[in-house]
Amino acid sequence: MIDNVVVAPPVRAEVVGKEVESPFAIAQRQFDQAVQYLNHYPKGILAKLRVPERELIVNFPVRMDNGDIQMFTGYRVQHCTVRGPGKGGIRFHPDVTLDEVRALAMWMTWKTAVVGIPYGGAKGGVVCDPKQMSIQEIERLTRRYTTEISIIIGPESDIPAPDVNTNPQTMAWLMDTYSMNVGHTVPAVVTGKPLELGGSVGRHEATARGCQFTIRRAARHLGLDLTQATAVIQGYGNAGSIAARLLAEDGVRIVAVSDSKGGIYNPKGLDPVAVLRWKQETGSVVGYDDADTVTNAELLELPCDILVPAALENQLTAHNAPRIRARIIGEAANGPTTPEADAILYDRGIFVIPDILANAGGVTVSYFEWVQDLQYLFWDEAEVNRRLEQVMNRAFDEVIALAQKHKVNNRIAAYILAIDRVARATMLRGIWP
Ligand code: NAD
């Protein structure tokens, strides 16, 4: 614990009758665990990194289709911009809170540092329910929110991207609004754009592909033959469904997958492309032919070699960690494992590839998109994937080396690597004035 730091008390949320720790409290706890191994830095430098640099709260009106004017609240938090511009997605969701955005911004700082790309960490969100809004209302909300946060975003200061319930179209509106306000086209203000507006090939698959590269590396490290391995995937959206397809291409047998409605299991193997087609046609993986139905809780405890949580936070907890039967956990989702579960999984010898490493492929290809936009020179997909593999492999090896050196789990090792990089950069820049 770092002393002399004033932060808002952790917010506690009620979830299914149980009190759970808020995401930012968890993020700070993870930070505190790692900085025990970085005590050569002045306390004040570490204290600086434990809190966000800047938090913007905006309350703004949007004209709804029926003529009413409705007020919305949005956030943009820049946790750290010492190593480069802030980077992080924008989330549209009714449950968005400042506390959650803070945690996500802090995780982005460590993620960009782990893979060694020249960015800091940021995140944004608007409290809204896009499923209850028309496309026109979402466009007006996006444009007004962009204008409100335009005082702190920009291609050299803070570069948003898609997150929950935002997509390439949202990013196109953001880019257009920012460009209209400054008077010329600025593609590099945002990543995850449509290809027609300066998006990058390979961005759509990048998170899952990065996850695939780290799982390959972990399998090699553990002597696991992927062509004999089985995998279970929780969540069948962008990250999960593409990870399933890519792992199947490596010869892995996908035995179970799930979405918010439930899971399906066939120990003989599922065809990930056919399952995706079924989900697109029916709205869920559930009901797919030739598979048993399982609950999401059961799915996590199925026997398998590789478990990929690709849905939500807090899925692997002290409650189910003793019964997880995977050898490798590749965290495509952000924050799927609680610190208590981490300790149990480590003691049981389960190899966790932590989120800030396993799902960093998305932000890495976002970085490639920004570099291509700034150069007005675009790469082909083979070039994007080749560079991504290089970045992911290097980061994986650095994390594993630190885990072995300090005899800590891979998450703490990833945090040590990341915090060390950011703390060193802070020391080199010095404290102004
Ligand atoms: P998505 O919305 O495309 O997919 C999420 C999936 O999870 C959906 O299939 C949904 O039905 C399922 N789901 C929701 N609740 C569930 C539950 N209780 N049990 C099982 N499944 C459930 O989102 P995504 O982009 O694939 O993101 C998934 C996770 O990966 C998030 O944690 C996100 O922050 C993380 N992530 C995504 C990216 C990216 O580039 N897409 C990058 C980094 C991290």
Q: What is the pLDDT of residue 159?
A: 98
Q: Looking at the predicted structure, is the pLDDT value of residue 294 above 60?
A: yes
The domain total for the chain is 2
pLDDT tens sequence across 333-345? 998 999 999 999 9
pLDDT tens sequence across 296-325? 999 999 999 999 999 988 899 999 999 999
CATH number at residue 182: 3.40.50.10860
The percent of residues in the chain predicted with pLDDT above 90, rounded, is 93
Instruction: Supply the mean pLDDT for the chain.
Output: 94
Q: What is the pLDDT of residue 312?
A: 85
- What are the backbone dihedrals phi and psi of residue 79, each rounded to the nearest 5 degrees, phi first? -75, -45
Mutate to test the pocket of ligand 1, among 312, 353, 357, 366 (most ligand atoms within 8 A of CB): 312
Take atom 16 of ligand 1 and give the residue whose Cα is closest: 260
Nearest-angstrom CA–CA distance, 70 and 64: 7
Span 385-403, average pLDDT: 98
Q: Looking at the predicted structure, is the pLDDT value of residue 8 above 90?
A: no
152 plus 252 within the same structural domain: no
- Candidate list 48, 87, 111, 123, residue with the active-site label: 123
In a domain, 237, yes or no: yes
The percent of residues in the chain predicted with pLDDT above 70, rounded, is 95
Stretch (H or E) spanning 71 = strand 69-80
- Per the structure, the complete domain to which residue 322 belongs is given by 204-355
249 plus 160 within the same structural domain: no
User: In this structure, what DSSP letter does residue 6 have?
Assistant: -
15 confidence band (pLDDT: 50, 70, 90): very low
210 plus 349 within the same structural domain: yes
160 plus 211 within the same structural domain: no
164 confidence band (pLDDT: 50, 70, 90): confident
In a domain, 372, yes or no: no
pLDDT tens sequence across 242-254? 999 999 999 999 9
In a domain, 85, yes or no: yes
168 plus 218 within the same structural domain: no
Is residue 131 annotated as part of the catalytic site, yes or no?
Answer: no
- 176 CA to centre of ligand 1 in angstroms: 27
In a domain, 47, yes or no: no
Report residues whose beta carbon is within 6 angstroms of any ligand 1 atom: 207, 234-240, 258-260, 296, 310-312, 332-334, 359, 362
Nearest-angstrom CA–CA distance, 146 and 140: 10
Nearest-angstrom CA–CA distance, 218 and 68: 54
Q: What is the pLDDT of residue 2?
A: 38
Take atom 14 of ligand 1 and give the residue whose Cα is closest: 260
Q: What is the pLDDT of residue 5?
A: 34
Stretch (H or E) spanning 303 = none
* Among candidate residues 313, 311, 336, 354, the one with its CA nearest the CA of residue 111: 354
- 161 CA to centre of ligand 1 in angstroms: 15
219 plus 123 within the same structural domain: no
Nearest-angstrom CA–CA distance, 229 and 240: 17
182 plus 208 within the same structural domain: no
170 plus 223 within the same structural domain: no
* Among candidate residues 86, 110, 136, the one with its CA nearest the CA of residue 33: 110
In a domain, 399, yes or no: no
User: In this structure, what DSSP letter does residue 8 have?
Assistant: P
Among residues 302, 329, 355, which one ends one of the domains? 355
Q: What is the pLDDT of residue 292?
A: 97
264 plus 179 within the same structural domain: no
Tokens matching residue 320: 């189910």
- 39 CA to centre of ligand 1 in angstroms: 36
Among residues 137, 152, 186, which one ends one of the domains? 186
Q: Looking at the predicted structure, is the pLDDT value of residue 14 above 50?
A: no
Mutate to test the pocket of ligand 1, among 87, 100, 112, 207 (most ligand atoms within 8 A of CB): 207
Q: What is the pLDDT of residue 429?
A: 98
Nearest-angstrom CA–CA distance, 99 and 128: 16
Confidence (pTM): 0.94
In a domain, 100, yes or no: yes
In a domain, 381, yes or no: no
C-alpha angle with apex 414: 81 to 76, nearest 5 degrees?
30
Beta strand spans in 274-344 (E): 292-294, 306-309, 328-330
- 240 CA to centre of ligand 1 in angstroms: 7
Mutate to test the pocket of ligand 1, among 108, 233, 236, 300 (most ligand atoms within 8 A of CB): 236
208 plus 181 within the same structural domain: no
Among residues 355, 384, 419, which one ends one of the domains? 355
Take atom 29 of ligand 1 and give the residue whose Cα is closest: 333
Nearest-angstrom CA–CA distance, 238 and 259: 12
Take atom 15 of ligand 1 and give the residue whose Cα is closest: 260
113 plus 234 within the same structural domain: no
Phi/psi class of residue 430: alpha, beta or left (left: φ > 0; alpha: ψ in -120 to 50)?
left
- 339 CA to centre of ligand 1 in angstroms: 20
Q: Looking at the predicted structure, is the pLDDT value of residue 12 above 70?
A: no
- 137 CA to centre of ligand 1 in angstroms: 24
137 plus 254 within the same structural domain: no
In a domain, 432, yes or no: no
Choice among 10-14, 154-158, 191-195, 369-373 with the minimum mean pLDDT:
10-14
Q: Which amino acid is present at 48?
A: K
Bridge partners of 263, per DSSP, are: 258, 294
20 confidence band (pLDDT: 50, 70, 90): low
